[in-house]
Structure 1
Amino acid sequence: MLKPVVRYGYVPFMLLGVNGAAIALVASGASKLWLVGLLLTAIGCSFAAERALPYEAAWNSPDGDGGRDIAHAGVNELLLLISVGVIPVLAATVTVADLWPHSWPFVPQVLTAVLVADLGITLVHYASHKIGPLWRFHAVHHSVKRFYGFNGLMKHPLHQTLEMAAGVAPLILVGLPVDVASALALAVAVQLLLQHSNADYRVGAAKYVLALNEGHRFHHLKWAGVGDVNFGLFTLVWDHLLGTFSHDPARRFTSEHLGMAAKPDYPTAYLAQLAEPFRASGACPAEPPDTRSPSGSGQ
């Protein structure tokens, strides 16, 4: 009974339940500390779903990366909270014109912020696979060898900051309210947990529109060029427009397909990963001589 609940109920619970609770709390004027509690709840549910219905059972077992992933998650979530805290200061100094639709109901305001942020984050993500200096920092995220919820929070803090700046800066310029920003910050964290989840959930035809784990696994294929697909954070709309959408329902993923083929020995310790982009060894070839994956790649 538990497996069908996770398979078909986990995504609605996270997207509508957790995000809906955040929206209700923020709209009611409740303390923002409640969002921290919701985030911890989402993380707990992520781990529980992965153990109840794993896509790949081996990905539930730490491989010397548990402490590192916790460090990445803690630092990057703290950065998200700090960014929300400084929005009133930024809004008071850099807002070009207060064009934000304050009169709209709160839910449409949050959805608008999500869609605008999705475009900015997707474009930086796309550029990070094409521009060498950006790839140096983004490579930290692609060094993972097991695909589970915390992977979404495993990013170099400078790259995380750049992505969020690209997503939020246009919103601040038009007067983004701090309450909407707070709901957006939690939505980003929830989405990253869902997108990298090891839970074998199903969303039907929505997998062609929503940027969830079934499509995002293709993005983590280790061969350069082959993994340059499905860049969206919240949606795959921009991937369809960019021509970077990819999906093959017959494809099965294991740890052998993940990581970076051009740099299989990427550092695994947290501090070493923070330092690697600044080292001469921090870059790897953008396009190896053969960018094709073994047969059955679905590309």
Structure 2
Amino acid sequence: MTTLVRWGYVPFMLIGINSAAAYLGAVRASELWAVALIVTAVACSFAAERLLPYRRQWNSPLDDAGRDSAHAVVNEAFILASVAVIPVLAAIMPSRSLWPAGWPFVAQLLFAILIADFGITTVHLASHRIGWLWRFHAVHHSIRRFYGLNGLMKHPVHQAVEMAAGVLPLILLGLPVHVASALSVCVAVQLLLQHANVDYRVGPLRSVLALNEGHRFHHLKWAGVGDVNFGLFTLIWDHLYRTYAFDPQRRFSTDDLGMAAKPDYPEAYLRQLAEPFRASGACQFRQPEIPSRISDYGRR
């Protein structure tokens, strides 16, 4: 069973769940099917974390289960609600005829993923460089364990900025609602895979796909050191931005996570929502210095 999870979990999620989303989008099924697929993906993620955990202790709540669930419900509801307003926005866009509607549905979905990936990756990188964005993004980096729901542990303001960067260009092109619905499932699946406490393997694809092996480096708590691997779906843009990093020998523990500059960041949900608006929400951080070799991380 562990071998099946190690090598089969990612294909099941990326190909199985996402293909189901693509099929349902292609036949223009009710958007409620997207909710069902997301619930299925969450359940599979939790099951895989129990069967093959990267760190068994990360499966145990640290007084954070309720808070993380609140973040996940609010932010996933925001994503799904955004799908509902796309027809209204698309109807008033003068460039809606630019969408490649003649392409096969899968090609349209991959096109949407690539554009969304660029926008979200770029805003994510900027959130580690620009003070006011970091105030809101810091919520995501306050984690003390690395598991599936962390992907949606975001301040709603930062979630809105990231989604706008990823989806607005698509809406300007005339993104159809059925493509947007499938895209919302793909985003949810990717966030689960990226933060899953699962010791899965993808081989050489770990340098192309933005999955948990690489994303753990992004959550290293030291300023500069964690400013790598910003991609949501792929690491293509990280290679271009020269922010890609990986060390196959590196292992991670709870002591590596969080923010060294703010170890006492608020943990309660409502306090995390308020923190960016407080004076204490600022965080001193220096211009990141990306090491030329990943082995340099151990010397920082």
Deviations 1:163-206 (A, max 9, x none): 01100111111111111011111100100000000000000000
User: Is structure 2 residue 103 aligned with structure 1 residue 104?
Assistant: yes
**C-alpha separation between the residues in 1 aligned to 2:277 and 2:158?**
13
**C-alpha separation between the residues in 1 aligned to 2:104 and 2:290?**
48
Q: Secondary structure at the match of 2:136?
A: helix
Q: Kindly tell me: are residues 295 and 101 of structure 1, through their superposed partners in 2, closer, same or farther at Cα, counting changes over 3 Å?
A: closer
Q: Is residue 223–residue 291 contact of structure 1 (8 Å, CA) maintained in 2?
A: no
In structure 1, the residue matched to 2:163 is 164
Percentage of identical aligned residues:
67
In structure 2, the residue matched to 1:227 is 226
Mean Cα displacement is larger for which, 219-228 or 289-298? Answer: 289-298
User: Is structure 2 residue 77 aligned with structure 1 residue 72?
Assistant: no
In structure 1, the residue matched to 2:253 is 254
Q: Secondary structure at the match of 2:34?
A: helix
**C-alpha separation between the residues in 1 aligned to 2:115 and 2:297?**
35
Q: Is residue 225–residue 288 contact of structure 2 (8 Å, CA) maintained in 1?
A: no
Q: Kindly tell me: are residues 289 and 131 of structure 1, through their superposed partners in 2, closer, same or farther at Cα, counting changes over 3 Å?
A: closer
User: Is structure 2 residue 179 aligned with structure 1 residue 148?
Assistant: no
**C-alpha separation between the residues in 2 aligned to 1:51 and 1:95?**
49
**C-alpha separation between the residues in 1 aligned to 2:264 and 2:283?**
11
Counterparts in 2 of 1:72-221, with a 5 A limit? 72-221=71-220
Q: Kindly tell me: are residues 240 and 295 of structure 1, through their superposed partners in 2, closer, same or farther at Cα, counting changes over 3 Å?
A: closer
Unaligned runs of 5+ in 1: none
Q: What is the TM-score when the length of structure 2 is the normalising length?
A: 0.96
Deviations 1:4-50 (A, max 9, x none): 00000000000000011111112122211111111111000000000
Q: Kindly tell me: are residues 291 and 278 of structure 1, through their superposed partners in 2, closer, same or farther at Cα, counting changes over 3 Å?
A: farther
AA in 1 matched with 2:185: L
In structure 2, the residue matched to 1:55 is 54
Q: Secondary structure at the match of 1:98?
A: helix
**C-alpha separation between the residues in 2 aligned to 1:32 and 1:240?**
35
Q: Is residue 39–residue 189 contact of structure 1 (8 Å, CA) maintained in 2?
A: yes
User: Is structure 2 residue 249 aligned with structure 1 residue 242?
Assistant: no
CA shift, 1:298, in A, is: 8.3
**C-alpha separation between the residues in 2 aligned to 1:108 and 1:148?**
31
Q: What is the TM-score when the length of structure 1 is the normalising length?
A: 0.96
In structure 2, the residue matched to 1:297 is 298
Q: Secondary structure at the match of 2:224?
A: coil
AA in 1 matched with 2:256: H
Q: Kindly tell me: are residues 281 and 52 of structure 1, through their superposed partners in 2, closer, same or farther at Cα, counting changes over 3 Å?
A: same
CA shift, 1:294, in A, is: 10
CA shift, 1:296, in A, is: 5.9
Deviations 1:125-151 (A, max 9, x none): 000000000000000000001000000
**C-alpha separation between the residues in 1 aligned to 2:194 and 2:148?**
7
Unaligned runs of 5+ in 2: none
Q: Kindly tell me: are residues 296 and 244 of structure 1, through their superposed partners in 2, closer, same or farther at Cα, counting changes over 3 Å?
A: closer
**C-alpha separation between the residues in 2 aligned to 1:280 and 1:90?**
36
CA shift, 1:295, in A, is: 7.3
How many residues in Structure 1 have an aligned counterpart in Structure 2?
298
CA shift, 1:291, in A, is: 9.9
Q: Kindly tell me: are residues 233 and 290 of structure 1, through their superposed partners in 2, closer, same or farther at Cα, counting changes over 3 Å?
A: closer
User: Is structure 2 residue 270 aligned with structure 1 residue 271?
Assistant: yes
Q: Is residue 223–residue 260 contact of structure 2 (8 Å, CA) maintained in 1?
A: yes
Q: Kindly tell me: are residues 22 and 218 of structure 1, through their superposed partners in 2, closer, same or farther at Cα, counting changes over 3 Å?
A: same
Q: Kindly tell me: are residues 280 and 179 of structure 1, through their superposed partners in 2, closer, same or farther at Cα, counting changes over 3 Å?
A: same
Q: Kindly tell me: are residues 181 and 288 of structure 1, through their superposed partners in 2, closer, same or farther at Cα, counting changes over 3 Å?
A: closer
CA shift, 1:244, in A, is: 0.3
